[in-house]
Amino acid sequence: MSMAAAVVGTPEVPRECGCKGIRTCLICEGQGRGDPPWQNAPQKNHRFIYSDIGLAVGAEKSDFEGWAFPFSGVTLIEDFVTPEEEAELVQLMDRDPWRLSQSGRRKQDYGPKVNFRKQKLKTAGFSGLPSCSRDLVGRMGLYPALADFQPVEQCNLDYCPERGSAIDPHLDDTWLWGERLVSLNLLSPTMLTFTCEAPSSLLLSPAPAESSEVWEPSLMATSRSVACQDVEVAVALPRRSLLVLSGAARHQWHHGVHRRHVQARRVSVTFRELAADFLPGGPQQELGQELLQVALSFQGRPL
């Protein structure tokens, strides 16, 4: 068997899981723990598909097919790494231990230990990002959306359909983590699903006939509205693509991965930058500088 084939193969299903509280996976569900509340919850009434011109467009054969609304804060860079780089990255990850995590995932953390509820962190044991990420971070800086991006934390998540892996809709912390969330999608494509619980409505306009057509909603003679709570927006993540979330996609829309959208082993590598309070001029700038110095030494081991 070739090295690449060994890398992309699905690992053996573990006998135990890392689920706590209401979180479940196929392992603990098979042991009688019950059904996953989010995965079995009714789907949103109206599904929209993200288009690369910054619109959420009504899905085919839906009530809002042909209608769209602006969906900002998503930057997708396809083929960010080559197939050879992908295989090498995952091979290096698999040399280190994966820890069991919630909802059928496994993880490797490279970052400070954080208590988000109490807004406290510990630097003990934090040794930086792994050496294999040095070239990735350097390459990110070549793109305008990431020109000044300095990650201080990396989290590798391993998804497997045999474990029923998923991740619930959530907003990432804003006390420690900054404006941009950056994720590299490896081994298989998936869908990132966005939902919003705001008690407001979205104003829709007719979608452009062609993806290259300029969309001018202010010039549209007709419009429709839909409640935010009834909408989900699916963003397709191709294999080896890099996703950047900022603005509304980062702060207003919860993002998650449905179990049904994990069809083969998938590894997500997420990088996070510091919030403004930890940057120069902020009240925690000294701590932030210390964290960045350690992070960008690229000598890290998973915690």
For residue 285, give the CATH number of its domain.
2.60.120.590
pLDDT single digits (tens) 176-191:
999 999 999 999 999 9
Instruction: Report the greatest alpha carbon distance in the chain.
Output: 61
**pLDDT of res. 213:** 56
Least confident segment among 8-22, 73-87, 203-217: 8-22
pTM to 2 decimal places: 0.90
Quickly list DSSP for 130-171.
Answer: -GGGHHHHHHHTTSGGGTT--EEEEEEEEE-GGGT--EEEE-
**pLDDT of res. 70:** 95
More confident residue, 62 or 212: 62
More confident residue, 4 or 300: 300
E-strand stretches of the chain = 46-51, 55-58, 67-70, 74-77, 99-100, 106-110, 113-115, 120-122, 151-159, 167-170, 177-186, 190-195, 201-206, 224-227, 231-237, 241-245, 254-257, 266-274
**pLDDT of res. 279:** 97
**pLDDT of res. 136:** 98
Range of the domain at 156: 74-199+231-295
Strand 46-51 relative to strand 231-237: parallel, antiparallel, unpaired? parallel
Centre a 10 Å sphere on the Cβ of residue 18 and count the other Cβ atoms it contains.
19
Q: Is residue 173 part of a domain?
A: yes
Q: Is residue 25 part of a domain?
A: no
Q: Are 69 and 196 in contact (CB under 8 A)?
A: no
Mean of the per-residue pLDDT values of the chain: 90
Q: Is residue 120 part of a domain?
A: yes
SS3 of 201, please?
A: strand
Angle ∠(63,255,208) on CA atoms, nearest 5: 40
**Structural domains counted in the chain:** 1
pLDDT at 175 over 60: yes
How far is residue 37 from each of residues 25, 54, 102, 267, measured CA to CA in Å?
11, 31, 13, 24
pLDDT at 144 over 80: yes
Q: Is residue 128 part of a domain?
A: yes
Provide the token pair at 256.
């998650």
Q: Is residue 49 part of a domain?
A: no
SS3 of 294, please?
A: helix
**pLDDT of res. 16:** 79
Closest to 233 (Cα-Cα) out of 272, 284, 194:
194
pLDDT single digits (tens) 198-247:
899 999 999 887 655 556 665 555 789 999 999 999 999 999 999 999 99
**pLDDT of res. 3:** 40
pLDDT single digits (tens) 91-129:
999 999 999 999 999 999 999 999 999 999 998 899 999
